[in-house]
Structure 1
Amino acid sequence: MNESQNKDGQRRSRRLALVLAGGVVGMVALSYAAAVFYQLICREAGLGGATQIAQEVPDKTFDRTITVRFDTAVQPDLPWAFYPVQREIKVKVGENALVMFRAENKSDEPVMGQAVYNVTPDKIGPYFFKVACFCFDVQTLAPHEVADMPVSLFLDPKLLKDRNADDVGVVTLSYTFFKASTQPTQVSEAK
């Protein structure tokens, strides 16, 4: 093999390595974005227990009471603890409830996280509304910071007209925190 053929082979190998590395980087980026895209699609289509977003709360509450339980998870690459302050609440249909979740950054670096959520049973999703939620935005916690994160929610009175929902007495609101795809940059202090 002459020198020219050897250089062409090396160029092809480098080009292939770059293409493969780009493919791996793209797949990793897509895997991080998949959870957020899935949540957006489900919320817009009302699928898979996606909750709704409201600008205002109903002006009347009703006698039917439903227990809302809270379930939390954190993906392994996010160094946070995350849990509900209360494990469950009882809420009347149409009543606005405020619940708190607590997150703690267990690392020595600032870290950004994004929560995705759903409710079960899925058939309650169209009637489960949030007025305010930490899950609407990326959250940043400083090193070892502990933060209380509120959620304002209610069950839409239209639930009372859905005969398929008559058997529902318990609803579970689940959150999973993922490490955000962009992270804060570290600024080193001059000493």
Structure 2
Amino acid sequence: MASHAPLAHDAETARRNARVGLMAFAGALFMLGLGYAAVPLYEMFCRVTGFGGTTQVASASDAARAEALASGERISIRFDASTASDMPWTFRPSQATDTITIGQRDIATYVARNNSPLPITGTATFNVEPEQAGKYFNKIQCFCFTEQTLAPGQEVTMPVLYYVDPAMLEDENMKGVEQITLSYTFHRTKDPVTLASAGTD
């Protein structure tokens, strides 16, 4: 009977090792899942909190509620524009600054021109400064919501319909803020050769 003891011990060790292996595998899968989820979760966090100057997306009804709370306070908005190094566009705001009433809708426009001999598709990233203003800067309509494709030499005017939430007036972190800067950077998103080829099919 004693000769069976090592076999029983080996079997128990094998079962224990199998459990440890399964736990390690499950942990690896969990961490992999977290890795894939990290980007959308981070983006959601930024949109909800305004972290990093991320602006908010609002509906027309949201804007109407904000407008009803407008008290006449005003704030300066500065507009900034840039392009990534591989983006052959000229991109600029139509005006450098504007002074708006907090809570009321306003429209800003940016001008983009494709200086390339090929069609170019781009997408705009954006943020506001100071960063704590992000959760109060609301866009209703914006060219940054979708990709934009410009033909060779084409120039377009791109509008942004937005408002600043009156709730900022109650935020201690926004005390003393007299100007918000809205910045966009256009990035190239598709190979122009592919687009040109598609147009000749």
TM-score by length of 2: 0.71
Q: Give the 3-state SS of the residue equivalent to 1:48 in structure 2.
A: helix
1:131 is aligned to 2:140: yes
Which residue is equivalent to 1:85? 94
The answer to whether the Cα contact below 8 Å between 1:39 and 1:117 also exists between their aligned partners in 2 is no
**Partner amino acid, structure 2, of 1:47:** F
CA distance in 1, matches of 2:117, 2:47: 34
When the two chains are superposed, the root-mean-square deviation of aligned CA atoms in Å is 2.4
Which protein has the bigger helix share?
2
CA distance in 2, matches of 1:132, 1:75: 23
CA positional deviation for 1:63: 1.9
Any idea what the Cα deviations from partners look like across 1:151-180, whole Å, max 9, x if unmatched?
A: 011000111111221210011001111101
**Partner amino acid, structure 2, of 1:59:** E
The answer to whether the Cα contact below 8 Å between 1:51 and 1:129 also exists between their aligned partners in 2 is yes
Any idea what the Cα deviations from partners look like across 1:26-67, whole Å, max 9, x if unmatched?
A: xxxxxxxxx999766633553100000000212322221110
CA distance in 1, matches of 2:134, 2:78: 14
**Partner amino acid, structure 1, of 2:165:** D
CA distance in 2, matches of 1:161, 1:89: 22
Give runs of aligned pairs for residues 25-44 of structure 1, distance below 5 A: 42-44=46-48
Which residue is equivalent to 1:59? 67
CA distance in 2, matches of 1:85, 1:45: 29
Q: Give the 3-state SS of the residue equivalent to 2:47 in structure 1.
A: helix
Any idea what the Cα deviations from partners look like across 1:78-121, whole Å, max 9, x if unmatched?
A: 10000000111001110100011000000110000010000000
Identity level (%): 37
1:185 is aligned to 2:185: no
The partner residue of 1:153 within 131, 156, 162 is 162
**Partner amino acid, structure 1, of 2:145:** F
Which residue is equivalent to 1:100? 109
**Partner amino acid, structure 1, of 2:185:** T
TM-score by length of 1: 0.74
**Partner amino acid, structure 2, of 1:140:** T
1:47 is aligned to 2:51: yes
CA distance in 1, matches of 2:41, 2:83: 18
**Partner amino acid, structure 2, of 1:169:** E
Larger Rg: 2
CA distance in 2, matches of 1:65, 1:59: 13
The answer to whether the Cα contact below 8 Å between 2:49 and 2:135 also exists between their aligned partners in 1 is no
Query: CA 1:105–1:166 in 2, change beyond 3 Å: closer, same or farther?
Result: same
CA distance in 2, matches of 1:141, 1:37: 32
Moved more, 42-51 or 67-76: 42-51
